[in-house]
Amino acid sequence: MTDNTTRRHQVRLLKQGWTFEVQENQTILNAAQEAGIRFVSSCRNGSCRTCLCLVKSGRVRHLIEWPSLSFDEKDDGYALACVATIDSDVEIETDQAFLF
């Protein structure tokens, strides 16, 4: 028997107090938009850094090998929402999220 259930996790935007769901391998940016939350973004490929956010808890994984983040920024918990997905529930800080 095959289980077709997609894993989902929650993102909580700490400053705004909003929560939304992210499906497995879906970017934070796309999931936010589906939930009616607009992250300021431009390139959608991890190069412009417009959607930079700080992950305060949980596990984030970038879908590209070298997003425009330094090693220190990655180590400090920064992520680019346009090319990042989550492997657990996460809490994120950003000033770049608004309701549609």
- Structure pTM? 0.91
pLDDT per residue as tens digits for the range 43-100 = 999 999 999 999 999 999 999 988 899 999 999 999 999 999 999 999 999 999 999 8
Class of residue 7 by CB neighbours under 10 A (exposed 0-12, middle 13-18, buried 19+): exposed
* CA distances from residue 50 to 1, 3, 10, 24, 33 in whole angstroms, order as listed: 43, 37, 22, 23, 15
CATH 3.40.640.10: does it fit domain 8-99?
no
pLDDT per residue as tens digits for the range 4-22 = 577 899 999 999 999 999 9
Q: What is the DSSP letter of 40?
A: P
What pLDDT does 10 receive?
98
Nearest residue to 91 via CA among 38, 54, 37: 54
pLDDT of 2 above 50: no
Give the residue extent of every domain in the chain: 8-99
Distance CA 74, CA 87 (A): 16
